[in-house]
């Protein structure tokens, strides 16, 4: 006998919520029903999947492996349902799209009106988050696709390219670097270099492309978003990097900020639409990438 999808769903919810009562609430069933489902799963597997106590639920090694496999199975089952619903009519019904914060505010205002006009039956659910969490959500089946920037580890994912986004330098108006036609990346390292907080892939892309190390020390400034970063540069706190996509969207339209190209080979980040390898939404991921490529002129092919 094999585990049922419902039993696997109960186990996944139990792992996520760490409580039989909260997992039952998320599954919209009674706690005894969820407990019975877990017990039946244990009988099927021939081993306990959880250690029960009054205060917490702990997965056994068999339970941890079962959750990992259950996540894959449930994601595949969801793919099957969505593929059947949208058969013959791509980009219709529910579609869960993730976008990283250094792209979302500058890409979505251009893309969403076109997407709504061309695909009126699409129910789009958006999630803005950092790359590691979006990739985890893709692999777990919690997202159908995500717009991310490379380089990044693509194990288990497939992608369609949208284009390349040039990384530029930003300095306070009147700064010694603000007047030149182009800025040598090494000059940025000699100044107060402000970066996005750790976890933003743009930070790593810019540093790697310019062969620079992140500044260290307690007095180093870091920004939570590109909007904050430009405010900090405009206030004279230091110099930084900014993607051309954001500049074209008006982020640096501030007389206190001067944006210049870098004199080295133009550093770029590659923008892609990514989805889980083998997903039934692959064709729709490619369609999204093509539509975004058409709509986002600042990207270079």
Please indicate, yes or no, whether residues 68 and 110 belong to a single structural domain of this protein. no
Please indicate, yes or no, whether residues 201 and 276 belong to a single structural domain of this protein. yes
Which of 24, 55, 84 is the C-terminal boundary of a domain?
Answer: 84
Please indicate, yes or no, whether residues 223 and 111 belong to a single structural domain of this protein. yes
Q: What is the 3-state secondary structure (H, E, C) of 99-139?
A: ECCCCHHHHHHHHHHHHHHHCCCEEEEEEECCHHHHHHHHH
Q: How far is the first Cα of the chain from the last one, in angstroms, to the nearest whole number?
A: 52
Please indicate, yes or no, whether residues 36 and 162 belong to a single structural domain of this protein. no
Per-residue pLDDT reduced to its tens digit, 65-74: 998 888 888 8
Please indicate, yes or no, whether residues 245 and 204 belong to a single structural domain of this protein. yes
Which of 84, 106, 122 is the C-terminal boundary of a domain?
Answer: 84
Which of 59, 84, 109 is the C-terminal boundary of a domain?
Answer: 84
Overall number of domains in the chain: 2
* Residue 155 near residue 274, CB atoms below 8 Å: no
User: Rounded to 5 degrees, what angle do the CA atoms 271, 273, 275 make?
Assistant: 140
Range of the domain at 28: 5-84
Please indicate, yes or no, whether residues 40 and 70 belong to a single structural domain of this protein. yes
Per-residue pLDDT reduced to its tens digit, 122-142: 889 999 999 999 999 998 888
Beta bridge partners of 50: 59
Q: Which of 25-34, 154-163, 217-226, 284-293 has the lowest mean pLDDT?
A: 217-226
What dihedral do alpha carbons 89, 90, 92, 98 form, nearest 10°? Answer: 170
CATH of the domain at 44: 1.10.10.10
Please indicate, yes or no, whether residues 78 and 129 belong to a single structural domain of this protein. no
Supply φ then ψ for residue 53, to 5 degrees.
-145, 175
Per-residue pLDDT reduced to its tens digit, 184-202: 887 877 778 888 888 888 8
């Amino acid at each position: 006998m094999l585990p049922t999808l419902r039993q696997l769903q109960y186990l996944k919810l139990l792992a996520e919520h760490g409580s039989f009562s909260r997992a039952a609430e998320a599954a919209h069933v009674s706690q005894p029903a969820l407990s019975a489902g877990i017990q039946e799963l244990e009988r099927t597997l021939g081993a306990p999947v959880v250690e029960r106590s009054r205060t917490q639920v702990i997965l056994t090694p068999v339970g941890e492996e079962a959750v990992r496999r259950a996540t894959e199975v449930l994601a595949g089952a969801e793919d099957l349902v969505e593929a059947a619903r949208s058969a013959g009519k791509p980009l219709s019904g529910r579609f869960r799209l993730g976008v990283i914060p250094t792209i979302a505010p500058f890409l979505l205002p251009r893309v969403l009106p076109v997407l709504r006009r061309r695909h009126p039956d699409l129910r789009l659910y958006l999630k803005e988050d950092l790359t590691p969490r979006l990739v985890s959500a893709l692999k777990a089946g919690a997202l159908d696709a995500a717009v991310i920037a490379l380089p990044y580890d693509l194990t288990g994912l497939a992608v369609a390219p949208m284009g390349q986004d040039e990384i530029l330098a930003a300095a306070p108006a009147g700064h010694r670097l603000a007047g030149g036609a182009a800025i040598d990346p090494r000059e940025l390292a000699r100044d107060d270099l402000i970066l996005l907080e750790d976890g933003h892939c743009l930070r790593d892309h810019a540093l790697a492309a310019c062969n620079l190390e992140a500044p260290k020390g307690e007095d180093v400034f870091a920004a939570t978003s590109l909007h904050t970063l430009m405010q900090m540069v405009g206030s004279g706190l230091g110099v930084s990097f900014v993607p051309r996509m954001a500049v074209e969207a008006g982020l640096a339209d501030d007389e206190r900020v001067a944006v210049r190209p870098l004199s080295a080979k133009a550093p770029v980040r590659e923008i892609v639409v990514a989805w889980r390898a083998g997903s039934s939404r692959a064709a729709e991921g490619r369609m999204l990438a093509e539509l975004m490529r058409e709509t986002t002129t600042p990207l270079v092919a």
